[in-house]
Structure 1
Amino acid sequence: MQKLVYYAFRVLVAIMRITPLWLLYILADFIYIIFYYVLKYRKSVVYGNLSRSFPEKSEKEIDALAKKFYHHLADIFAESLKGLGIGKEEVIKRYSFKGTDLVHERIKQGKTVLLAGTHCGNWEWGALSTPHYLEPDIYTLYKPLSNKYIDAYLKKQRADQGMYMIPTTETREIFQRKFEHPVAFILLSDQSPHNPRRAFWMNFLHQETGFLHGFEMQARRYGHSVVFFRTTKIKRGYYQIEFELITDTPKDYEPGMLTKEYAKRLEKLVLDDPAVWVWSHKRWRRQRPEGKPLL
């Protein structure tokens, strides 16, 4: 059965190679209607997250923001389909980068760089485009797909372009590996932590919020430079990543302070354009454990 699904997937990839994006955006407009009006996909989660994050906004403003988010979510769905067969020239045209010298300078100095990212814009296209703009090999952590054939295909496609996907179960091994040349790691650190007791807790968007400790732990343990990448949506189908240095000396930070700096930049990014963050995630489903301090 897995092979049958894989063959169907390869047919879909072939179709996406020849399908123009404008046609997929027509599909996205219908997907929005299905998500918002028919399935009512996680509407209670989306509206709850938005209302708590923006207590100053009226119900009408929250409603408008939610609809804008669902339009963006539908666009991501359509763009991700196109991403299965999108060419190098097309993805470079649609995803531009600023501040790449900041990363390249540190690589030339022999430093490994941690790129602290977010689920803003279209992170799938971001992953596709990053190897075309940055010189070093790039590694990112991911949860393997249940279909081993599709998983292997996607891993090979990314690796051929300079993006190496590492299962989260191999996090320790990949950070301990001795590379011949400096590399860059992409870590998306805005998910809800699985273990709230190991998380760093702080006020974020008017709520007590737990943040994953992983990227800070690796940065402080190995002394890697930390760079925030700020993703913005220019217009439909066009995005930009801008690199911002957080620190070259992570060991100078007290525990949690590096994560707090990341959270501060993430909050500004979300406030600048709220609709392009993923509000359908159950970001605040866990509560701060008793005795766990707020930073």
Structure 2
Amino acid sequence: MSAPSSAPVTGSLSDRLTDAVLRGLIWLLLRLPLRLRLWLMGRLVARVLSPLVGYRARAEANLTHVWPDMPTVDRRRIADAVADNAGRTMIENYDVLGLRDRMAGARVSGPGLPEIEKARAEGRPVLFVTGHYGNFEAPRAALVARGYQIGGLYRPMSNPFFNAHYAQNMHALSGPVFEQGRRGTMGLIKHIRDGGMGVLLFDIYDSAGVPIPFMGQPAPTLTSAAEIAVKTGALLVPFFGIRQPDGVSFEAVFEAPVPHGDPVEMMTEATRRLEARITADPAQWFWIHRRWKPARQRRRAAARMDP
């Protein structure tokens, strides 16, 4: 579980062709100078891919859901900036060793840093939580550059050929890394219980989650990160990789640990920390995600009310 599978990859011809195109594009982009690579990928996603596949429309719909009075011009500006950041993040995270080297000299701050260093010295586990904000791999890369080993979970891609090298890339920065699912979660729990450090992203819609207010609207949120922290005695530390105005550099911020207690209250506090970052700079959060799915939530609520 902690290493990429060596089993043969099978899939459709369409999957294989799509993977070949994506691999070729990534290969070409990684051979460009960093600033040009990031600029080009940001423009490609913001100007071409986002309007073509509906990311821009989805981001604007989410912004309307949260801020219905926001002027259209501001929604469009934020949606395009979100797509630009998403494009930059994608290609950055396909060069994880390069990201690690860049983050070696990045600014690292926050009240959680002394707690993390103390936990490392004592062999106490740490579970970092974050959202799809800025570049969520940047703080992990900053710690790895400073000698830490940080594991985590990743969500597998639907294309099996693309997922094979995506998983390999995830393992390249630091391990162990586990595929999302019951077995992967158990592997991460064991890693944390043994005194390790890991990362979980919690801002994805999951119908099994507890509705927790997020940006003023209920959003089903899994409490597994808090439950793992309580069960293993791990510090629960929110962190954020904040992209700087130059579009290239980052500040990695490690916030004070969330106190242990009721898992719902712990995840509510973690959500508040993410909300504060989004409010400060909305363009850094991935509004292209289906975070709320209000129509589905209404249908599920209605179904529960039926006798």
Q: Who is 2:179 aligned against?
A: 167
Q: Who is 1:282 aligned against?
A: 290
How far the C-alpha of 1:255 sits from its partner, in A, is 4.0
Q: Who is 2:190 aligned against?
A: 176
After TM superposition, the structure 1 stretch with the greater mean CA deviation from structure 2, 215-224 or 267-276, is 215-224
Q: Who is 2:77 aligned against?
A: 64
The answer to whether structure 1 residue 154 and structure 2 residue 169 are counterparts is yes
Q: Helix, strand or coil for the counterpart of 1:242? A: strand
- Tell me: CA distance 1:15–1:128, structure 2 relative to 1, closer, same or farther (3 Å): farther
Q: TM-score, normalised by structure 1?
A: 0.80
Q: TM-score, normalised by structure 2?
A: 0.77
Q: Who is 1:217 aligned against?
A: 227
After superposition, the C-alpha distances for 1:136-171 in whole angstroms (9 at most, x for unaligned) are x2110113452375256325523xxx3321122321
Aligned mates of 1:214, 1:264 — CA distance in 2? 17
Q: Who is 1:192 aligned against?
A: 205
Q: Who is 1:233 aligned against?
A: 243
Aligned mates of 2:297, 2:192 — CA distance in 1? 38
> Which one-letter code corresponds to 2:204 in the other structure?
Q
> Which one-letter code corresponds to 1:86 in the other structure?
G
Q: Who is 2:151 aligned against?
A: 139
How far the C-alpha of 1:207 sits from its partner, in A, is 1.1
How far the C-alpha of 1:256 sits from its partner, in A, is 0.9
- Tell me: CA distance 1:61–1:173, structure 2 relative to 1, closer, same or farther (3 Å): closer
- Tell me: CA distance 1:260–1:61, structure 2 relative to 1, closer, same or farther (3 Å): same
After superposition, the C-alpha distances for 1:214-263 in whole angstroms (9 at most, x for unaligned) are 1011112222211111332212111112111233x51xx23411011111
- Tell me: CA distance 1:210–1:261, structure 2 relative to 1, closer, same or farther (3 Å): same
Aligned mates of 1:118, 1:245 — CA distance in 2? 16
Aligned mates of 1:149, 1:40 — CA distance in 2? 24
> Which one-letter code corresponds to 1:62 in the other structure?
R
> Which one-letter code corresponds to 1:204 in the other structure?
F
Aligned pair count reads: 278
Unaligned runs of 5+ in 2: 1-7, 11-15
CA RMSD of aligned residues (A): 3.2
The answer to whether structure 1 residue 121 and structure 2 residue 143 are counterparts is no
After superposition, the C-alpha distances for 1:55-94 in whole angstroms (9 at most, x for unaligned) are 342223222222222332333344345x26727433434x
Q: 1:20 aligned to 33, 49, 73, which one?
A: 33
- Tell me: CA distance 1:69–1:176, structure 2 relative to 1, closer, same or farther (3 Å): closer
